[in-house]
Every structure is written in C-alpha cells, then in structure tokens.
Amino acid sequence: MTIPLTRLRTATAGLAGRTGHTPRRIRLWQLSIAAMGLMLAVVGAGTTASLTQQLEQASIHANQYLRAGDIQNQLLVAHAASARAFVAASEKDAQANDEQAVQARDTAATRIVEMAAQRTDLDSSLESLTHDLLRYAALVEAAHQQRGQDAGRGNLSQADALLRSSLLSATEELQAAHLAASQPSVGWGWVLPLVAWLTVIGLVAISVLVARASHRVFNTGLVAAALVALLIAFGSISTASAQASPNATTNALARVAAVATAQHAGSRSYALVANTVATRRSSGDPSAELAGLLATSTTALDPTADADLIKNLTTLGKAGAATLAHARSQAWTAAERALLSADADAVAAASDAVQSQTDAEVRVARDTLRGAAEAQASVGVMIAALSVIGALLICVAGIRGLSQRLKEYR
C-alpha cells in the first residue's frame, strides 16, 4: 500500500502546483490590462495636448501669412500713390494721393506691429523690415518736398530701389515661411491609433490564454474591453486621417494665395508704371517686366469663377502698357498725362475692385481659421475623453472579467 499512496501524494502535489500557478498568471494578466489602459489614457491625453499646441501654432502662422501679404499689398499701394502724387497736376491732387500713400504705409506699419505681437521664430526679419520702412517713408517724404525736381526724382528712385531690393523680398519670404508652417504636423496623431491597436491585440492574446487556462472560450469582460479598444482605434484613425488630408483651412489659404498673387502682380505692375513715369527712368525697358507680372497675375485664377478679377487685372495691364508706350519714347509729359488722365478713374476702380476681392478672400480665410480652431478644440476634447474614459472601461471590464476566473480557484 505504500507505493500507491506515494504516487497519489505526488500526483496531488503536481495538480496543486498547476492550479496555484494559474491564479498567478491571471493576476499578471490583470496587471497587464491595467498597464495597457493606463498607457492608452496617457497617450490619448498627450496626443490631445500635442495636437492642440500644433493647431495653435498653425493658426498663428496662418494669420502671420495673411498679415505679411497685407504689408506687401499696402506697400505697393503706397508706392503707386506716391508716384502719382509726385506728378500730380495740382496741389489738391498731390495731397489726395499723398494722403492715400501715408494711410497705406501706416496700415503696413500696423500689420508689422501685429506680427511682432504674435512673434514666432520665423519673424526675425521684422526689425530690419521696420527699419527699411522708415527709410522708405523718409525718402518718399523728401521726394514730395521736391516735387517735379530732379532731386525729388532721385529720392523717389532710391525709394523704389529700397522697395524692390528689401521690403518686397522680405514680405515674400515671410509669406512663404508662414504659409509652409501653417499646416500642422500629424506625426503624433498616429501614436494613439497605434497604441489602441496594440491594446486590442494584447486583449485578444490574453483572451486566448485565459481560454486555454480555464477551458472557457468566451470571457464577457475581455470581449467588452477589446470592443472599447477597437472603438478608440477606429475613432483615432478617423481623426488622424482627417487631420492629414486637405481641409477647409488649407483650401481657404490656397485661395487667398491665388488671389493675393494675382492682386500683388496687378498692383506691382501699376506701381512699376507709375514709378517709371514719376522718376523718368530711361534706362532699360520695363515692358518685359510688366508683361511678366501681368502673365503671373492670372496663372492661378479660374477663368470662370474669377472672370471679374481677371477683367480688372486686364484693365490695369492695358493702362500700364499705354502709359509705357509714351515712356519708351521719353515723352514724359504725355506719359504723365496718360497716368493722370480720365482713364485713371477706370484704373482706380479696377484697382479698388481687385483689392476688395482680396480683402473678401482674407476675411473668409480668417473666419475659416476661427471655425477650424473651434472645431479642432472640440475634437481634442473628444479624443481626450474617449481615450481616458475608454481606458477606464477597459481596465474595469478586463479586470472584472478575469476576477470571475480567479474565484474558481478559491
């Protein structure tokens, strides 16, 4: 009887060892579920914080881009008005044009101050831009004190050179840099879906191990936890995909860029003509530059949707070409009369119409930016709530589901 009893004790001890090992594994799986839930909550909150910060920075860059574009536009308006003031036939006309030039320069200065208030690491050129604008204003003012004289034309020529070589190039660089930075990176947006899918895989793996250990295929708690993780995975993927694809903000800025490019080319062409006449610049032929600017002005426009804009730009181009025809033959008096003729009213109307459409597109872009910021803030709150609440549900459902298995070993 001794041998059978010994074998019975040995078999019983082995069974007790196996049943004692299973509860330890179940507790380890519970800790794993808690760790996965905690990781999901932390990543969800971190992703939301990162996304919110990126969207705030993108909004700042988009608004800086719009301000830089307005600075450039106001400088061109001021430049053309200053040239008209210099060749005006009467003191009254000269004063009216000079007031327009001063107002445009003041607006440009205001936009620079606004950009400085929202300063980013891309705005290091604002100090030199401010300095050059002050130099430009001083040259123009000196020219107006010497209207009709060669010394005044010399100051106006220096102002033109400063505008071309420094002011316009600086604003173009600011626009390009801020437009590129206005789209937030979505790299961190894919971390939450990745963690959520890893959580799903982990919960499925634990379900399989529990089924093998307890000989029960279905565990309600683990299935519920996996479904919650699956919901977070699909929800976060949808959000990240929407963030990566072109959105209303991207489209609005692209539209502003197209119209602003056209408006800039039109304004610059008119400023070129006006300054050529005012300074009586005989060196070189600006006709090629004018033709290039006019060609650029309509490249990005829709012939149907932008028919009125193209018409107004064409009016500016024809008026400029007619004036330059006199300038090429150095018939400066005739060129000045052409610049200030009755057609000037049509040119002014066309210029105002182009400016009005640009302003309208900028207003739409600003409204879109505000709407997008509010929508993204709501999305951020939703992601944070979904990940934190979902992580809590995963922990509760998964741990509770395994607790039922633990009771079987007590």
Q: Does a structural domain hold residue 225?
A: yes
Q: Which residue stretches of 280-410 are H helix?
A: 287-297, 307-328, 332-339, 343-407
* pLDDT greater than 60 at residue 196: yes
For the chain, the domain total comes to: 1
For 367-402, the pLDDT digits (tens) are 776 776 666 667 667 777 777 787 788 777 777 767
Which residues, other chains included, contact 246 with Cβ-Cβ below 8 Å and sequence gap of 6+? none
Q: Does a structural domain hold residue 11?
A: no
Q: Does a structural domain hold residue 4?
A: no
Q: Does a structural domain hold residue 355?
A: yes
Q: Does a structural domain hold residue 12?
A: no
CA separation (Å) from 146 to 85, 93, 156, 271, 338? 11, 16, 10, 20, 22
Q: Does a structural domain hold residue 1?
A: no
Closest CA to 71 of 101, 97, 109, 102: 109
Backbone angles phi, psi at 329, to 5 degrees: -90, 10
For 63-104, the pLDDT digits (tens) are 888 888 889 888 988 888 888 888 887 788 788 888 888 998
Predicted local confidence at residue 211, as pLDDT: 75
> Which is more confident, 184 or 148?
148
**For the residues of 33-51, what is the DSSP string, one character each?**
HHHHHHHHHHHHHHHHHHH
Structural domain span for residue 227: 21-407
Helices and strands per DSSP (H, E), number in the chain: 12, 0
* pLDDT greater than 60 at residue 194: yes
For 15-39, the pLDDT digits (tens) are 444 455 667 777 788 788 888 888 8
Average pLDDT of the residues in 268-279:
77
Q: Does a structural domain hold residue 14?
A: no
Distance between CA atoms of 98 and 78, rounded to whole angstroms?
8
% pLDDT > 90, the chain: 7
Distance between CA atoms of 84 and 271, rounded to whole angstroms?
9
Q: Does a structural domain hold residue 106?
A: yes
Predicted local confidence at residue 8, as pLDDT: 47
